[in-house]
Every structure is written in C-alpha cells, then in structure tokens.
Amino acid sequence: MIIVLKADVKEEAIEKLIDKISGQGLIVHDIKRGGVGRMLGLVGDIPQALEDSLDRVDIVESVLKVREPYKLSGRRFHPEDTVVSVGDAKIGGGNFAVIAGPCSVESEEQILSIARDISNSGAKFLRGGAFKPRTSPYSFHGLGLDGLELLKIAKQKTNLPIVTEILSQEHLENFAEDVDIIQIGARNMQNFTLLREVGSLKKPVLLKRGLSSTLEELLMAAEYVINGGSDQVILCERGIRTFETSTRNTLDLSAVPVLKQKSHLPVIVDPSHGTGYWYLVEPLSLAAVAVGADGLIIEVHNMPQNALCDGQQSITPEVFHHLMKRIKRVYEAVHEMK
C-alpha cells in the first residue's frame, strides 16, 4: 500500500503517522523523491482497521491499494478453478450445468411434473422457492417448510439435487438437512449475519449479486461465506438496477468474464430475473453460454399464466427442452476452439 501525503505537511505530523503505522508491526518506507510529493510505502500484513482509517488522516492526500480487498474468493492465492459438486452433479472448472424449476413450489403435482420434465431435458439441479421474498407483505410468500417437503419428494423421484433460497436464520437446521445448494438472494447479499451462518453449514451456496452491488462487493460477500466455513460458493449474475425500464433489470454479462478473471469460484447467470420476460430468456441464455458462464438458473413453469409468482418470466417445459438443445450447440461452438 502506498500513501501519498498532501503538500506542505509538517515533518512532525509525518513522523507521528509513521510511528502509528510501524507500531502495528509494518515496515514503512519514507519516499521523498523531489517533485512528485512525499509518499509512504507500507510493507507487511496490513490490519483491516488500519487500512480503513488511513484515508481519514488529515495529512493524507490519497491511498493507493495495490491489492484487492478479497482474499479467499480471489484468484491470487487460489489460481485453480473451484468445482462445486453435489453427488455427480458439478458446476465450475469446465463443468457446465443448468439449474431449472418454478419460481415457487405450489403443489406436489406441479413440482413433480416440472422436475421430471427438466430432468429429461438435461437440467442437473432443481430449483423451487419455498420461502419467497416479496416486495409486498400481502403477496404470496411460498409454502414454507411444506414447500421444502415437496422439494424432497421431487428429489427422491428424479434424483435432482435441490437449490432453494433461505430467508432467515431460524431455518438453518432445516436447510442443513434437506437442501443441497442453499441460495442467498439478491436482497440478502449484504445480510452479513446470514452469509456467515450459512457458510458455517459447510454446504454449497448459491450467492446472487445484489441489485446495486458492484462485483467487488459480490466477492466480499462470498468472502463472508468462505470465511464462515464453506468454500463451495457459486456466484450468480442476475441483473442490476439501472434507468432502463424495458427490462426488469439490466443483465450485466460482462460480469462473467470479469468475475472469472478475479475469482476461482464458478459463475452462473439468471436470465429469468435478469430480464423479467420469458421471450428474452432464450437469447440471453445463449449469450450467457457464449460469454463463458459455468451454468444457468432458469425459471420453468408448466402453466406460467397461473403461476403464483413471476409467471411473466417463466418458460414452459417445451420451450426449455428446445432451449437446452440450443445451449448444447452454442456451448460446443464456444469451447471447441478457445
């Protein structure tokens, strides 16, 4: 880390700062080369509290961070790709996988029918909401624990591992037991208590990017989960909030190669929430494959017009079946010659 000092700072104040820093076990290089201003170079393992406080010191002009703030989720000390696996199903490190299912679990018949269909089409994981975060307290909030039970039945019949969202710490035990990949939704990406506790379960975690979170903040959220105990984290781009209103969110596909460069974690894309319209799911799924995503999470509903939530962005099993074939073709085209 390099600290650039303001012009005309008193020698006394500089010495006080150097003392403060070296008092924490760091080596400080005092760089006085004329013309470009006085700088301090810091060597050693910089405590976060010190780092947080430096740009508030009044003699400091600016602080140049040479290192990114994430460690466990970054590639620097973990160059090889992480592979997240549940049984035979894998995501990351060359393993491409599609997660599919309805926005919310509505009935045994519904979830079973969809699970069978998507499995036949080649999906590797079943998604389905049991606990649903909704903007209105008067909207449908999911079947709760009953929904989890229905997901378990669907898993028994189809062998598809389950992906579902946790909303509250009170359900940690249930999720630990019944859920294969625990999803943390966009609205909870900075619910740090939840991140840490879910991490402590040491299970695979699907972490969605917040609506207005930078990629660095997403990696810091992953850092909480890994620091909490689980290194099986999947990152998910699901659209950010912008001024554009013709789509529900703006799907940021550049996020995929940027995240994969900075991090070893698998990166998947959610074209359903990312666009908000079923007719955009197909083109954006193919684009996500082409941009290098490790997987997709897609909303599929057998009767979208009657869905209890987000029907507008769900595709039917028939459309999904056709899409899976196209995904396969594009995936091959992209990966046969890198």
- Work out the angle at residue 326's Cα, subtended by the Cα atoms of residues 321 and 328, and round it to the nearest 5 degrees: 100
Residue 234, CA distances (Å) to 90, 96, 207, 251 in order: 11, 12, 6, 17
Residue 156 sits in the site that holds a second copy (CB under 8 A): no
Residue 16 sits in the site that holds a second copy (CB under 8 A): no
- 209 Cα distance to chain centroid: 5
According to DSSP, residue 300 is labeled B
- Least separation in angstroms between CB 167 and a second copy: 5
The residue (of 11 and 338) whose beta carbon lies closer to a second copy is: 338
The residue (of 156 and 212) whose beta carbon lies closer to a second copy is: 212
The piece of 94-102, 104-112, 117-125, 324-332 that touches a second copy (CB under 8 A) is: 324-332
Within 191-210, the residues that bind a second copy by CB under 8 A are: 191-193, 196
The residue (of 89 and 186) whose beta carbon lies closer to a second copy is: 186
Say if residues 244 and 216 touch (Cβ distance below 8 Å): no
Q: What mask, x for binding a second copy by CB under 8 A, covers residues 207 to 246?
A: ----xx-xxxx--x--xx--x------------xxxxxxx
- Least separation in angstroms between CB 24 and a second copy: 14
The residue (of 164 and 191) whose beta carbon lies closer to a second copy is: 191
Nearest to 235 by CA among 247, 257, 94: 257
- 3-class state of residue 301 by DSSP: coil
The phi, psi pair for 311, rounded to 5°, reads: -60, -30
Q: Which of 95, 258, 316, 321 binds a second copy (CB under 8 A)?
A: 258
The residue (of 80 and 244) whose beta carbon lies closer to a second copy is: 244
Q: Which of 92, 147, 274, 317 binds a second copy (CB under 8 A)?
A: 274
At 205, which amino acid appears?
V
Ramachandran category for residue 292: left, alpha or beta (phi over 0 → left; psi -120 to 50 → alpha): left
The residue (of 89 and 103) whose beta carbon lies closer to a second copy is: 103
User: CA 207 to CA 152: how far, in whole Å?
Assistant: 22
At 236, which amino acid appears?
C
The piece of 51-59, 106-114, 157-165, 176-184 that touches a second copy (CB under 8 A) is: 51-59
The piece of 80-88, 107-115, 122-130, 253-261 that touches a second copy (CB under 8 A) is: 253-261
The residue (of 101 and 274) whose beta carbon lies closer to a second copy is: 274
The residue (of 55 and 109) whose beta carbon lies closer to a second copy is: 55
Q: Which of 10, 33, 79, 80 binds a second copy (CB under 8 A)?
A: 33
| Token pair listed for 312 | 């507008």
Within 77-136, the residues that bind a second copy by CB under 8 A are: 133-136
- Least separation in angstroms between CB 294 and a second copy: 13
Residue 18 sits in the site that holds a second copy (CB under 8 A): no
Q: Which of 10, 11, 66, 88 binds a second copy (CB under 8 A)?
A: 66
Residue 294, CA distances (Å) to 140, 190, 277 in order: 32, 24, 22
Query: How would DSSP label each residue in 61-91?
Result: EEEE--S-S-SSSBSTT--SPP-EEETTEEE
Residue 334 sits in the site that holds a second copy (CB under 8 A): yes
The phi, psi pair for 170, rounded to 5°, reads: -65, -15
Nearest to 211 by CA among 243, 189, 244, 240: 240
Residue 321 sits in the site that holds a second copy (CB under 8 A): no
User: CA 175 to CA 83: how far, in whole Å?
Assistant: 21
Residues binding a second copy: number (CB under 8 A)? 105
Q: Which of 149, 291, 319, 321 binds a second copy (CB under 8 A)?
A: 291
Q: Which of 97, 207, 233, 284 binds a second copy (CB under 8 A)?
A: 284
According to DSSP, residue 249 is labeled S
